[in-house]
Structures are given as structure tokens and as C-alpha cells.
Amino acid sequence: MSRRSDGKGYAIAVAAIAVVTLATTLLRTELGLPAIALLFLLPVLATSSRGGLGPGLFAAAGSALAYNFFLLPPRFTLQVHGYDNIVAFLVLLAVAVVTTRLASGLADREAAAQDRAAVSGEAAALAADLAAAADLDIASARALSFVGERFGVARLIPEGPAPADLGSLDAAAAAWAAHNGDVTGHGSEVMPAADWSFIPLRPGGSGAVLAVARPADGATRSAGEIERLESAARLIGQALDRLQLDCERADRAAAEQRADLLRSLLASLAHDLRTPLTLVRGGLAEVRATGDAERLDAAVDAADRLERTLSDLMDAARIEAGAVGTSLEPVDLVDVVQAALAEYGAGPEGIGMEVAISDALPLVSADPVLLRQILVNLTENAARHAATRVTISARARGRTVWLAVHDDGAGVTPGDETRIFERFFRSGGDDRGGSGLGLAIVKGFADAMHMPIEVRNAADGGATFTLELVSV
């Protein structure tokens, strides 16, 4: 609360004295002089608490004069006939001084409490804004926006040489703040002639610095503003440190994941390539010796398996490296399904392939190469798990088209619906062969085209993998 010794305070004094004088004059005979003297304290208290020392003293003098002139005998004169009148006047003055000091102290404490609350609220808002930042760039942008809205142009100066666009004095102040951990530059005690205020983000120095330009109106930044900037800088430093640690942890986790992938990949290579290579070598040797056509067919099948395994490894490497490019175009599902089945081949003996896709379905937006490879992998997976039949179907509603690959096998173990798309994961301890990468490649290619994919167990048994596409 701010109090000013201006015309408003004096007006309060005059009005309060007039009201008390009128009331005591009318009730003079009923109240008596001692009670009336106490009533004249009210204008002094009211004016001192609201208007400050000047109006309070004015109210004390005016109350004393009004009490003397209108109420003390002889009335309507300013004669003082006893020490009691002098004491009453001095008491009124003392009350004015004491009340003013008490009110001033209370107001100062209230203002300080409001300032602390404002600083705390500001810090809480900044902390919440930074906590919601997902990475270092977003956090830095939000921090500079927050500081800029309240204090003026701001920038973050990273550890190292000062930016070339700073003047020599500002560069020296920035270097001092970064090295020693002190607030320097404008508004501080160190190099105050600088055009920027430099606040270290971390105590002790050796780090980045928050730089805030001199206020646009040319005023000197106050000590209170410097304290608020120090509080903001500490929060910014803590947030950036936290995000840096998160990035380092994520990098370590990614490195560990790549190492695990490499180990799994080597194990898969050792297991999945040895068998077809052995068959190819043995079959070709047998054919060379005997001309056995059956052995030749087995060798060709083994070579096909080897080719698919190598293709899966290459696709997995592309996904891991983020090198999967997409070229979306209108695609006819009938054509892409036929191409996928032709590429897959006949499939295991005893497993029928059924296609239930209407020619009236609309074209969908997809990369035809990636979509065909998805269907090849899903068909191969379904055929490996089916009891008698694999069904590929599609249906449309509005602009959404669902493409499904269903097998009549045992289905997916409950709880594995998400993990089944992980590399080398085998649901329920499945040992039916395969590279362990087919479904992971399906998920990677589907994500590259922004196509949701899910797997569910069908009501009549078996698993159904469903792709959600958009028609064009």
C-alpha cells in the first residue's frame, strides 16, 4: 500500500476534524471535556495511517486548535488557560508521529511481502514453463521469452569466448561473470558502465551466462531487478542441466540399445545364415555329383530364405539409421496385394492363401514399395503360424481403409500385442524360425508412412494384423 502526503491526505484531515468538531459541539454537555479530547484523536489516527506524516501532523494541529477554539472555555477563542491544554496538544502531535511510523512500518512490511510473493510467483511460472520443455532448444527459447517479456532483450551466452558483437567492456563483463560466478555489467557493482547485465546460470562460474540488455528507457536496473534476474538465471541453469542430463542418459540408453541390437544381430546371423548356407552348399554338391533335381529345389529354397534374411537385415539397418524414405502416391490395394503374394511365392505346403479385396475399394495414399514389403512380411509371418489358411482382406468406411492379414493359428499370447513388433521378440517362446525382424520392419515402414498398425486375436481364433490407411 502506498501513502502520499498529498492533497488527499489533507482533505481527509479536514473532513475528519470537521465531523468530530460538529459531533462534539452538539454533544458537548453530555460527553464532557475528557471524552471529547479522546474523540479528537480519531482524525489524527485516520489521517496518519492513510496520508503519512505531513497530513498527520496537520490533523494533530487542527484537532488541537478545533478542540481549543470550539470546546474549551472560554469558547471561540484560542486562549490556553492551563497546562492540561498544552499537554492535550502535545499528546495529539505524539499520536500523529507514532501512528505514522507504525503505519509506515506496516506498509513497508506489506510491500516487502507482496514483492516476495511476486518474485515467488514469477519463479514458479518460469519453473513450470521450463519443466514442460522437451529439449534444450525449447527450454532456451522459453527462458529467453520469459525474461524478455519482463526485463528486456535477453540472450544466453554459452561457455567460451564472448560473442564478437559485444563491445570490449561487455565482453570483459561476460567473461568475468562466466569465470567467477559474479553478476557483472549494468546494474551491478562490477563494470556497471556496460550495456548488458550478465548473470551466471550456475554458482561458482565456469558456465553459461544470461545477458539482459539495459532497459530501453535508459534507466538503471535496480537491485531488486538484479535479484529477480539471479533467481531466474538459477532456475534456467537448473532446467538446462536437467535436460542435458536427460539427453546424456538418452544417448547412453541409445548406445546400449544399439550394442544390444548388434549382439542380437550377430546371434541372428550366426543362427539364421548357417542353416541355409549349409543347405545350399550341400545341395549344390549333391546335384553336381548325382544330378538330383530334388536336392536342387531344396538348395534354391534355402537360397531364397537366405535372400529374405539378408533383405530383413538391410531393412532393419535402414530403419535403425532413420534412412527410410517415403514417396506417397495413390495405390490400388488389389495390385499391391497381388504383387506382394507374387514376391512371397507359394508358401508352406498345406497353407492356403485367400484374398478378399473388392475392386471397388478406393485408392489409398501409400508408398507402394514399402506397403508391398509390409504385406510380404505379414503374409510370411501369418503363413508360418497358420494352421490351414491365411486371409488378406480390406474394408472401407469414409476416407479410412483397413487392410488386414489374418491367420487361423493359435493367435498372439495376451500381453504381447505391443512387444510383438520389437526386434527379435518371439511371442510365447515361438520357435518357428524367421529372422525375428519381420514384424519390426513392418512397424518401422508403417510408422514411416504414418499408418497405425495393430494386432488382435480374432474371435474365431488366430491373429489379425490390421493397417489403417487413408483413401485419396
Q: What is the CATH number of the domain that holds 238?
A: 3.30.450.40
Q: Is 283 within the bounds of a domain?
A: no
Residues contacting residue 243 through CB under 8 Å, at least 6 positions apart = 133, 135, 136, 139
Same domain, 340 and 444: yes
Q: Cα(88)–Cα(272) distance, rounded to whole angstroms?
A: 110
State which of 246, 272, 289 marks the end of a domain. 246
Q: CA neighbours within 13 Å on the CB side: how many for 457?
A: 13
State which of 246, 277, 295 marks the end of a domain. 246
Burial class (CB in 10 A: 0-12, 13-18, 19+), 61: middle
* pLDDT reported for residue 314: 67
State which of 219, 246, 273 marks the end of a domain. 246
Same domain, 105 and 185: no
Q: Is 214 within the bounds of a domain?
A: yes
* pLDDT reported for residue 422: 85
CB 283 within 8 A of CB 298: yes
Name the β-bridge partners of 457: 463
Torsion over CA: 29, 31, 36, 42 (sign): negative
Bond preceding residue 276 cis, omega within 30 of 0: no
Same domain, 173 and 227: yes
| Residue 74 belongs to domain spanning | 5-110
Q: Is 316 within the bounds of a domain?
A: no
Name the β-bridge partners of 352: 389
Residues contacting residue 168 through CB under 8 Å, at least 6 positions apart = none
Q: Cα(336)–Cα(53) distance, rounded to whole angstroms?
A: 92
Q: Cα(323)–Cα(83) distance, rounded to whole angstroms?
A: 102
Residue 380 is which amino acid? E
Same domain, 86 and 217: no
Q: Is 455 within the bounds of a domain?
A: yes
Tens place of pLDDT per residue across the chain (472 aa): 444 446 788 898 899 999 999 999 999 888 887 888 889 888 888 887 777 778 888 888 888 888 888 887 778 887 766 677 677 667 777 776 787 778 777 877 887 788 778 778 888 888 888 888 888 889 999 999 999 998 999 999 988 888 889 999 999 999 999 888 899 999 999 999 999 999 999 876 667 899 999 998 888 998 888 988 998 999 999 999 889 888 899 888 888 877 776 666 655 665 566 666 676 767 777 776 676 667 666 666 666 666 666 666 666 666 666 667 788 999 999 999 999 999 888 778 889 999 999 999 999 999 998 999 999 999 999 998 999 999 999 999 999 999 999 999 989 988 888 888 887 776 655 555 555 678 888 998 899 899 999 999 998 889 999 999 999 9
CB 69 within 8 A of CB 89: no
> Rounded to the nearest 5 degrees, what angle is found at the Cα of 316, between the Cα atoms of 314 and 321?
95
Same domain, 105 and 149: no
Which contacts qualify for 108-112: CB closer than 8 Å, 24 or more apart?
Answer: 110/1, 111/1, 111/2
Q: Is 304 within the bounds of a domain?
A: no
Same domain, 355 and 464: yes
Q: Is 185 within the bounds of a domain?
A: yes
Same domain, 347 and 233: no
CB 123 within 8 A of CB 17: no
Q: Is 307 within the bounds of a domain?
A: no
Q: What is the three-state SS of the chain?
A: CCCCCCHHHHHHHHHHHHHHHHHHHHCHHHHCHHHHHHHCHHHHHHHHHHHCHHHHHHHHHHHHHHHHHHCCCCCCCCCCCCHHHHHHHHHHHHHHHHHHHHHHHHHHHHHHHHHHHHHHHHHHHHHHHHHCCCCHHHHHHHHHHHHHHHHCCEEEECCCCCCCCCCHHHHHHHHHHHHHCCCEECCCCCCCCCCEEEEECCCCCCCCEEEEECCCCCCCCCHHHHHHHHHHHHHHHHHHHHHHHHHHHHHHHHHHHHHHHHHHHHHHHHHHCHHHHHHHHHHHHHHHHHCCHHHHHHHHHHHHHHHHHHHHHHHHHHHHCCCCCCCCEEECHHHHHHHHHHHHCCCCCCCEEEEECCCCCCCEEECHHHHHHHHHHHHHHHHHHCCCEEEEEEEEECCEEEEEEEECCCCCCCCCCCHHHCCCCCHHHCCCCCCCCHHHHHHHHHHHCCCCEEEEECCCCCEEEEEEEEEC
Same domain, 444 and 396: yes
> Grid coordinates standing for 20?
468530530
Q: pTM to 2 decimals?
A: 0.45
Q: Is 225 within the bounds of a domain?
A: yes
Residue entry with cell 495376451? 414
Find, among 350, 417, 356, 406, the residue nearest to 381 by Cα. 406
> Grid coordinates standing for 76?
471561540
Per this entry, what is the length of the chain?
A: 472
Same domain, 158 and 205: yes
Same domain, 352 and 461: yes
CATH of the domain at 406: 3.30.565.10
Q: Cα(443)–Cα(378) distance, rounded to whole angstroms?
A: 10
Question: In the chain, how many domains are there?
Answer: 3
Same domain, 460 and 392: yes
